[in-house]
Every structure is written in structure tokens, then in C-alpha cells.
Structure 1
Amino acid sequence: MIRRTAAAFVLALSLGSVAALPAIAQQAPATAEAGSAATHVSLPAPDGRTIDVSVWQAADEQGVILFGHGWGSDPAAYHHIIDYWVAHGFTVVAPMHTDSMLHPQRAEQTTQTIFITRIVDLAVVRGYVKASHPGKPLIAAGHSFGSLNALMEAGALTVAGPQSDADVKVVVALSSPGVIPNVVNAQTFASVTTPILMVTGDADLVPGFVTDARDHRAPFDNSPAGGKMLLTFAGGDHSLIGNADAADFDLIATTTTDFMRAHALGDTAAQARLDALTAPEGVTVERR
């Protein structure tokens, strides 16, 4: 599948439709040294690369989150939310993609190769997760471009063609990149029936790329109703997951965890908390 879609994908990318994507990195969370230490696994990619995968193992593992970082960022930059998820029973597995400023081959990459290697990375890592964590529910999560990759794993159709995996039970999308000409269109999310929780802000802008924060609503608005939830924070920007104040972070952390528990584990108490959740001041909660 990767080989069959690569040519069409490169053609679309070469048209310049995503030339502004690297601008997303300008507002990605900065790499931080704090947080619990991950173990590292090296996985071979079919193109000869080695994929560096960070693994944060939950002591009482109930599910596994495959996490995609934003363009130019890296897994450790998200240690705050990752530590929370791990403490609440979710192992987090996160590849370092070739667009990361810390990737040793970053200088060799183009926008086109980065798009393709992200798809390859996630396919390889999903196989690793299924083999090393058999029987555990799989959640796809990500920030910015990583969230589009997560949505693709749940059935979103882009120029890359079908990349879905039926084993993905839930998507957590943090500041999705929104509408990308020639890559994302009105029908991209029409087939995503997987439960989605989206988190964004009304100041979630990326100069030269996202000029209307409402673009981030596209997966929520254009996917089939049922199991969809959207949190929008007043003043929240593209780095909300990294710069939220304590109250906002707590809401994001508890809601994402309850959403994963409800839809991946069938936790009725978590679902009841989601149903009872009311919007605090400065936050809008929507459901479909």
C-alpha cells in the first residue's frame, strides 16, 4: 500500500500544496528535558532507515497510545501529557519522525520524503505495538500534523490513499492542522466513524498556514456523528498542549483520559463523566 500510493502522494506534494507546512514547527512545543525517562527501541524501516521509538511503559497497562509529534518537534516535548497518560494506565509509544529537528537525517529530507516516511513510521510502529502488547486496545493520538496522521490511521482519506487500521479504537487530536489544499478536502473525514476527541483554541493559528482557527474543526464537523467531542479553549494557540495553565491542562488531561477509557476500554464511569462534563469559563464543549 505504501509503495502504491507514494507516487501519487509525491505528485500532489510537488505541486506546492503543503509548502507552508514547516511553519507549523514555529509554534510546536519546545523540547523539554523534564518528565519521566523513556526507553528507546530501534525498528527497521522498509526503506533502510532505523526508526527511533520512545516507549513510556505504564505500570498497570490497560491500553497503548501511538503518538505522533508535531512537525519539527519530538516525542519528549510532550512529556507533561505523556506522563499523565502513563500514570493512568496507558503506555505511550512514539516514533521520532524525520522532520524532527533532533533527527540525525533531518537535513537530508524534503517535504515530500517527510510525508512518506511518517506514514511508513506509523505502519512499522503499529506492527511493533501489536506484537509487543497483544490484546491491548490501540489509541492513535498526535499534535498538529501528528494528529492528521492519527486521523488517517482511523480512516481519514488524503492524497496518500487509505491508511486506516481497524485496530485503532480512538483518536485524540491535539490542534489538528486543519485544511490542507490538495491533501485534505471536504470528504477527507467523511469515513471516520472512530470516536474522536479534538482539542483546539480560538487562537490556534499558524502564520502563513492556518489563518482561521475554525479550520481546526474540520475533522469534528465533517466526520459522521457519534462519538465525536471537541474542546475549544479561549485564547488557546497552536502550542496549547505545551503552554496551557494548570486548570486548562487538567481539563485536557482528564478529558482525554476519560475519552480513551470510555471508548477503548468500555469504562461506563468514564463515559458518565464525559456526559456530565460542562464547559468551564473560557472553554466550549461540543459533542456530535
Structure 2
Amino acid sequence: MSNTDVAISAPAPIVSVKPVVLPAPDRGHDLHVRVSAPATGRELPIIVFSHGFGSSLDAYGPLADFWAAHGFVVIQPTHLDSRTLGLSPDDPRTPRIWRHRVEDMKSILDHLDVLAAAVPGLGGRLDPTRIAAAGHSFGGQTVANLLGLRVLDPETKIGEDLSDPRISAGVLFATAGQGGADLTPFAVENFPFLNASFADMTTPALVVAGDNDDSALTVRGPDWMTDPYFLSPGDKSLLTLFGAEHSLGGIPGYEAAETTDEHPGRVALIQHLTWAYLRSALYPEDAAWPAARTALSQSTDPLGRIESK
């Protein structure tokens, strides 16, 4: 049995519109969003996707295109750290970019009707009761905030609850672990928001980590990226990808320069398993996830392993 032997329908045609502009007067730049959706179908579930540091709404085609072709509406903002905006390090917004990212995602959820109306034929076809959030790297922490992760104030050591009850499940790709002594001096100086607590991250989630993702932000090594699974309570699953580095085989884009571990088979596995996870998370009667887990466990040459709690 192959690594991607998951029962899934043939890909459907998709429509994609960009940029849809949401006014954001307090942000300094209006929020630009890409919306991708199946050309047909009703009561469509939603995935809001947060890109990695420096990226934009134009990236992550291998994920967005696949999810949209198999029944999800995928919504991708361009966050303030994007290279397309060119904010300087001394911009007054820079220290709170992590917070602006969370607010971007909430703004999308506040304006689903506006976003749907901007895509020809999409109005009235969304199911706002079935929403998931997914993100890669910095975007993984952005999504984790929406699931209950708390960034700790350096003085009080208390973190504000930024979770959003509209989100039923999350997928965290290559997401930072705990802070404190686990951080390198570089990370301590430049990324204070990495001091966070997973203790209240209760929303169900799939954590995806590469066992060769050796980050410059931590002194621990690749297992740091599994902290969102091991340190959070509730219904969680962990997909560990063998040999994968930070791009997990190539999810940031087709032939993206930052992919150091190009592996089309690994990307295909991620596509199928995340689709299956989100189907079962948003539709509990759907057996796609348990079937996908069984298929991977029975593979004679698996590209990864899954554990759950």
C-alpha cells in the first residue's frame, strides 16, 4: 500500500481571485487576500492559511490548489512581514507583527461574506460553521494563537487569550516549540514572541514536523517542532516526516527556491493526509482520517508516521 493511498475524489476545477482587499486603517496597509474555491458545490468548508515569514498570498500553491480542488475554500492573507511589503526592521509595527498576523486571520473570519462575494459564483456557497486554520513556520504559530497558544508577556509571564471559537481544527506545519532556555541567543534577541505557553491550546490540531528540520532558533534540534503536540492538551495528532527539513518537501510553492529538501512524494503525502485530517475534523462522521492513518501504517516504505492523543 502506497503512502498516499487515501480514498479521495478526482480534483475539480477551481477558481482563484486575488487580491481581494479588506480595508484595515489601523494596520497601515490594507489586507490583501487570495480566495481559491471549487468551481461547483455548496456548503463548502473553509481553510484560512497563514504563510511563513516573508512569504505572501501567492505562495503555498501545492497546498491551496490541492485543498480547493478537493472541496475546501482556501483563504490566504498577505501578512505585514511579507517581502512584498518591504517593512523596515525599525518600522513601529515590527515588534507586534506576530499580533497583527492573528488579527489578519480574525479579520478574514469577520468578512467571509465580503470575500465570498468577490469571487464570481461563490456567494452563498460557504459553510461558516466548518472552519479550519492552517499555517507554516511563523504562520504555524499564528494559527496556534487562534487555537489557544498564549504569547507570554516578558514582565508578567502571562499571555492573552487570542483563541477564536469559530475555528474547529488546525494544522501546524513546522511550527516553533517552547521558548526560554530552548532558544538560541539569536532567537531570544529577535523573536521574543517565541516565549509562549501551549497549556491552553485545546482546539484539535494536526502537528506536522520534519525529523531533519534543524532550526537556527533552538538549541534542541528537530524535536523542538514537536512541542505543539506534546505540550498542548486535548485532541492532537502528530505527523513526523522522515528526512524532511523546514519546507517539508516543498509546500511553500512549486519549485520554490527555499525548498532545501525537494520531495514530490512527501508533498503528495502531506496533501492527502491533511485533507483527510480536516475532513474528519470538520465532519466527524467522515472516516477519511482513520482510513488514511491505516494506509500509512500499512505502507511497506512509509515516508512518515502518525501518533495521536
TM-score (norm 1): 0.78
The answer (yes or no) to whether the contact 1:65–1:92 under 8 Å persists in 2 is yes
What is the aligned partner in structure 2 of residue 153 from structure 1?
A: 146
What is the aligned partner in structure 2 of residue 53 from structure 1?
A: 33
The answer (yes or no) to whether the contact 1:98–1:118 under 8 Å persists in 2 is yes
Give me the whole-angstrom Cα distance separating, in 1, the residues matched to 2:24 and 2:32: 10
What is the aligned partner in structure 2 of residue 77 from structure 1?
A: 59
Give me the whole-angstrom Cα distance separating, in 1, the residues matched to 2:211 and 2:289: 26
1:175, distance to aligned residue in structure 2 (A): 0.5
What is the aligned partner in structure 1 of residue 274 from structure 2?
A: 256
Q: Is there any run of 5+ residues in structure 2 with no aligned partner, and where?
A: 1-13, 117-125, 153-158, 181-191, 253-258
Verify: 1:202 aligned to 2:185, yes or no: no
**1:215 aligned partner, one-letter code:** W
Alignment map for 1:106-117 (pairs within 5 Å): 109=91, 111-117=94-100
What is the aligned partner in structure 1 of residue 174 from structure 2?
A: 175
Q: In 2 relative to 1, CA 264–208 (structure 1 residues): closer, same or farther, beyond 3 Å?
A: closer
What is the DSSP-based 3-state SS (H/G/I as helix, E as strand, rest coil) of the residue aligned with 1:77? coil
Larger helix proportion of the pair: 1
What is the DSSP-based 3-state SS (H/G/I as helix, E as strand, rest coil) of the residue aligned with 1:260? helix
What is the aligned partner in structure 2 of residue 218 from structure 1?
A: 227
Give me the whole-angstrom Cα distance separating, in 2, the residues matched to 1:142 and 1:246: 20
What is the aligned partner in structure 1 of residue 103 from structure 2?
A: 120
Superposition RMSD in Å: 2.5
What is the aligned partner in structure 2 of residue 239 from structure 1?
A: 247
Identity %: 31
Give me the whole-angstrom Cα distance separating, in 2, the residues matched to 1:75 and 1:210: 31
The answer (yes or no) to whether the contact 2:20–2:33 under 8 Å persists in 1 is yes
Verify: 1:140 aligned to 2:123, yes or no: no
Q: In 2 relative to 1, CA 183–107 (structure 1 residues): closer, same or farther, beyond 3 Å?
A: closer
Q: Is there any run of 5+ residues in structure 1 with no aligned partner, and where?
A: 1-34
Larger Rg: 2
What is the DSSP-based 3-state SS (H/G/I as helix, E as strand, rest coil) of the residue aligned with 1:112? helix
Q: Quick one: which of 271, 283, 286 aligns to 1:265? A: 283
What is the aligned partner in structure 1 of residue 308 from structure 2?
A: 287
Aligned residues: 252
Give me the whole-angstrom Cα distance separating, in 2, the residues matched to 1:36 and 1:106: 34
Q: In 2 relative to 1, CA 122–108 (structure 1 residues): closer, same or farther, beyond 3 Å?
A: farther
Q: In 2 relative to 1, CA 130–153 (structure 1 residues): closer, same or farther, beyond 3 Å?
A: farther
- 1:77-100 CA distance string (max 9 Å, x none): 201111000001111111101111
**1:128 aligned partner, one-letter code:** H
What is the DSSP-based 3-state SS (H/G/I as helix, E as strand, rest coil) of the residue aligned with 1:135? strand
1:255, distance to aligned residue in structure 2 (A): 0.6
TM-score (norm 2): 0.73
